[in-house]
Structure 1
Amino acid sequence: MRPTHTEKENAMREKIIPELYANEYNKFIGFEVLELSATYSKARIKADSRLHNTYGSIHGGALLSFVDAMAGATGSMSGHYVTTVSANLNFLLPAVNTEYIYCECMKLKTGKHILVFDIRVTDDNGNLLDSGEFSFFASKAQVLGDNLKF
């Protein structure tokens, strides 16, 4: 059972999710946030033909940017906006024959400035399509503050 969300977590979620949905690129990818906290997130995108590569599966770049946006949102739930330091995504199986692609981000480490997340991308049947690890730098810009300097 996951812990109950605090008032601060709820306030950050209420700010971060609309920011994600307002971004034009994120609108194009078309993802939906299912769960968002500082330690875990889950989201999905529709396996839309606009995101297909030449071979008929979801393009790796679309998957990478979907995962990067969700892992970044998860990192920002720590209280400060984050920027990607490194992104590693292993493409294990093609994303085909599924209505949705799911991304789960699980916190591995939160340091003073660096946050690291384990990534799992699955299809409707729970098959592991991609796995990886993303690292982020926590900026000085606070999610709930007026300080937007990175």
Structure 2
Amino acid sequence: MRITKILLNGVGESLIFSYPENTVPGDENFKIGFSLNRMAKDEKIHFGSDRVSSYHVLLEGRTEVLNSKLGKRAFETGQTFSCEEEEQVELMGEGRVFNMFMSGGVRGFIRKMPLEKEKKMRAGEAMGGCVMAFFGFDGEFSLMCSDEKLVCEAGSAVIIQADKQEFFNLNIIPEKAGMSVACVTGVMLNSHDFGKYIGVHLLERSEGTCRARLDICPNHMNPIGTVHGGCLFTLADAVCGIAASSLGGICTTVNSNIQFLNAAFYPKYLVAEAKPKKIGRKIRTFLVEIRDDRDILICTVDMVFYSLQQ
């Protein structure tokens, strides 16, 4: 395990971390990287690549995000947005933005954690190495990792890099009650991704939610000319797994119930959206709705996930 403390204040447009080292988005061996952008008033910056997805959080200021597939939305300090593969995003406004770039089977999230008191976490991943970053929005905090303690002042960040099956305990102690800390997590997965294999493409993800699209081809159909039920369930499980994991830790499906409401007769595509119904300390319950290209509700899926970590 490796722990690094870096400065965010006073840093202009810069790549501040990459794994493997000395790589940038677009390189053949690129896996994950963190960067910063500072925008002057009404300045525009662009994100998007056929091979690289990215996750972003606004550190300060106010911006408008124009997504090539989702349209335009306004974002304020602390809010996050993603740019999936094959999408283009234009960011316009004033302020600073923290970026996480991912390729090569990396799953990544940024979540904002409000802290009223000390928070204990068990971190690490079984399926691959992971990279985590922590920084405060409105104050400093202390981070205890194993036997090491670091003070993370406002304007600095702590990055932890761990190998596969290297688990560790974290204690985050806020300077004051009610402050917020950003938790950035990137996990290096292997190439075994059944959802991606059948064509599931992420459209949008944020803390606890996810939307994905599946463009329908003949291999998705059953002999009577409708989308196969197993294909529908795979789409629901893939989108809900992303939503559950975005809240932190390794999650596994423990129960599900699918209701087929309308037959999907040769749709051009299907869109699935997962939303939380109840989030507990270990049990996370979601509802997934799948609609076709005419906005007909094809099925709903109730899914229950269990978090193997805090």
Interval containing the TM-score (normalised by the shorter chain): 0.7 to 0.9
What CA deviation, in whole Å up to 9, does each residue of 1:22-51 have, x standing for no partner? 434223311100011222210010111101
Name the CA distance, whole Å, in 2 between partners of 1:89 and 1:58.
14
Alpha-carbon RMSD across the aligned residues, in angstroms, is 2.4
What displacement does 1:19 show? 4.6
Change (3 A) 1:96 1:84: same
Contact kept, 8 Å, 2:225 with 2:266, in 1: the verdict is: no
Q: 1:76 to 1:91 in 2, by over 3 A?
A: same
Counterpart of 2:246? 77
1:100 maps onto 2:100 in alignment: no
Q: In percent, how many aligned pairs have the same letter?
A: 27
Contact 2:284 2:305 (C-alpha < 8 Å) held by counterparts: yes
1:49-64 correspondence to structure 2 within 5 Å: 49-64=218-233
CA distance in 1: counterparts of 2:294 and 2:184, whole angstroms: 33
**Rg larger in structure:** 2
What CA deviation, in whole Å up to 9, does each residue of 1:63-122 have, x standing for no partner?
A: 101211110111000011210011111011111232111100001111011000011000
Matched, 1:28 2:197: yes
Partner of 2:283: 114
CA distance in 2, matches of 1:107, 1:119: 9
Counterpart code for 1:105:
A
Residue in structure 1 matching 2:296, options 110, 123, 127: 127
Contact residue 200 and residue 214 of structure 2 kept, 8 A:
yes
Q: CA deviation at 1:132?
A: 2.0
Output the CA distance in 2 between the equivalents of 1:112 and 1:130: 28
Tell me, in whole angstroms, the C-alpha distance in 1 between the residues paired with 2:261 and 2:204: 24
Aligned to 2:237: 68
Aligned with 1:64: secondary structure?
helix
In 1, distance between residues paired with 2:297 and 2:256? 18
TM-score, normalization by structure 2: 0.41
Residues 52/39 of structure 1: CA separation in 2 closer, same or farther (3 Å cut): same
Check whether the contact 1:116–1:135 (CA below 8 A) recurs between aligned residues: yes
Paired AA for residue 116 in structure 1: T
Match of 1:139 in 2: 308
TM-score by length of 1: 0.80
What residue in structure 1 maps to residue 256 of structure 2? Answer: 87
Aligned equivalents of 1:38, 1:133: Cα separation in 2 = 18
Q: Distance in 1 between matches of 2:273 and 2:197?
A: 20
> Could you tell me which amino acid in structure 2 is paired with residue 102 of structure 1?
V
User: Hey, what's the Cα distance between the residues in 2 that align with 1:56 and 1:118?
Assistant: 26
Q: Which has the higher helix share?
A: 1
Structure 1 residue 125 displacement after superposition: 1.4
Q: Distance in 2 between matches of 1:127 and 1:75?
A: 25
| Aligned residues between the structures | 137
Cα pair 2:236 2:301 within 8 Å, conserved:
no
Secondary structure (helix, strand or coil) at the match of 2:207 reads coil
Amino acid at match of 1:5: T
2:80 is matched with which residue? 5
Query: Match for 1:121: what amino acid?
Result: I
